[in-house]
Amino acid sequence: MLRDPFYDPGKSYEENYGKGPFGAFRNPEKYQNKGEPEYDFLGNKVYLPFGIPAGPLLNGRFVKAALDSGFDIAVYKTVRTGAYPCNAFPNVVAVDLDGDLTLEQAKKGIISKGDYEAPLSITNSFGVPSTDPEIWQKDLEEAVKYAGAGQVVVGSFQGTKKGDGNVNAFVADFVLGARLVKETGAKILEVNFSCPNEGTAHLMCFDIGMVRRVSEAIKNEIGNTPLIIKIAYYEDQEALKKLISDVGSIIDGISAINTIGSAVRKKNGEQALPGEGRLVSGVCGQAIKWAGLEMTGRLRNLRDELGMKFAIVGVGGVSGAEDFKKYHEAGADAVMSATGAMWNPMLAQEIKKEL
């Protein structure tokens, strides 16, 4: 069942940031968990290892609403070491898909539509906007402190290229981002390797050498604080095995997947999201559940094969209790929902009641 979304796609990112959240997140009644938290998520006890990944929770108000609504793991939207603008409106558009978005179909491109209908799939294109650290550090610190027993707030961040090709400076920016997030008191950090870097189609998670270099540098900075890396869908199994072999003993968790990229056009052939470099955008929701589940299983198998211990965070197409169960059975230590949660802010409560 689709409800009024807590992020309003009919409003700009700035309007959502300044006036949101909306829908049931506007003034949520605080959900009361029963008993004691029994699940462990990277050293933190939670009532249920279920939450919202980086993306929909724009600021502390969104995070607090998620916690009050029963989501026990809330990831504060990815931040940067300096202010960064959002892509032009619109940023969220429904897509016309019947069933799974296969890799073959994604390469051919898909069509947008005007209505948001279940089973829901969307495309989003924000460009990983960020306020200045002087704004987000204070806001994130308050959100971290707001988490109650059995809950945890994760701080997500990424580096920013300066345009001069200086790789050392790029790595240093990731390290600075990690330091700034850790200063807020966040108990878990997540580094975003799964979004295009400043207007290009390149995803850093596929540059395994850089992933290792940056991950090592971050861990040297943050010490024992758990670090999750967020990655995209890997089509090449050998490349995925190489990634796990190189970084699986360095990091503490892997979150997969983010989205599947595809060209998105209107029925008349125009690109659905205006602006240079935005023909291809990330598709999420029901249509990519197969990919999230598959990646979860592949990560579990590689973890077992290589004798590693990192946590697996399964993401993609979760809209109900059965989806949560499938991810758990596939090997996920925690499960998260972005699109499903946006259009059903009561999702965590519904899952807890059904389990």
Render pLDDT for 25-41 as a digit per residue (tens, 0 to 9). Answer: 999 999 999 999 999 99
Residue 41 lies in a domain: yes
Residue 109 is assigned to a structural domain of this protein: yes
pLDDT of residue 199: 38
Number of domains in the chain: 1
Residue 310's domain comprises 13-354
Under the banding of pLDDT at 50, 70 and 90, the label for residue 22 is very high
**180 assigned to some structural domain:** yes
Distances in Å between the Cα of 203 and the Cα atoms of 192, 197, 210 are: 10, 7, 11
Q: Residues 178-223: pLDDT tens digits?
A: 999 999 999 999 999 997 544 334 789 999 999 999 999 999 999 9
What is the reported pLDDT for 201?
Answer: 47
Q: Would the pLDDT of 226 be above 80?
A: yes
Residues contacting residue 300 through CB under 8 Å, at least 6 positions apart = 312, 330, 331
More confident residue, 196 or 113: 113
- The single residue of 86, 195, 205, 284 carrying the catalytic annotation is 195
Q: In the structure, what pLDDT confidence band is assigned to residue 285 with cuts at 50, 70 and 90?
A: very high
The answer to the question of residue 347 being in a domain is: yes
Question: Given this model, what pLDDT does residue 57 score?
Answer: 98
Confidence band of 165 (pLDDT split at 50, 70, 90):
confident
Which tokens sit at 228?
């999750």
Q: Is position 6 within any domain?
A: no
**Residue 163: pLDDT band with limits 50, 70, 90:** confident
Active site residue 86: no
- pLDDT given at position 202: 72
Asked, for residue 105, whether it belongs to a domain, the answer is yes
pLDDT value at position 196?
A: 58
* Beta carbons of 55 and 11 less than 8 angstroms apart: no
Q: Is residue 54 part of a domain?
A: yes
pLDDT at position 135 over 90? yes
pLDDT at 197 (0 to 100): 46
Domain membership of residue 7 (yes or no) is no
User: What is the structure's pLDDT at 198?
Assistant: 41
Mean pLDDT of 86-90: 96
Q: What is the mean pLDDT of the chain?
A: 96
pLDDT at 200: 39
Q: Which CATH number does the domain housing residue 262 bear?
A: 3.20.20.70
Rounded CA gap, 19 and 220, in Å?
Answer: 38
pTM confidence score: 0.97
CB atoms within 10 A of CB 71: 27
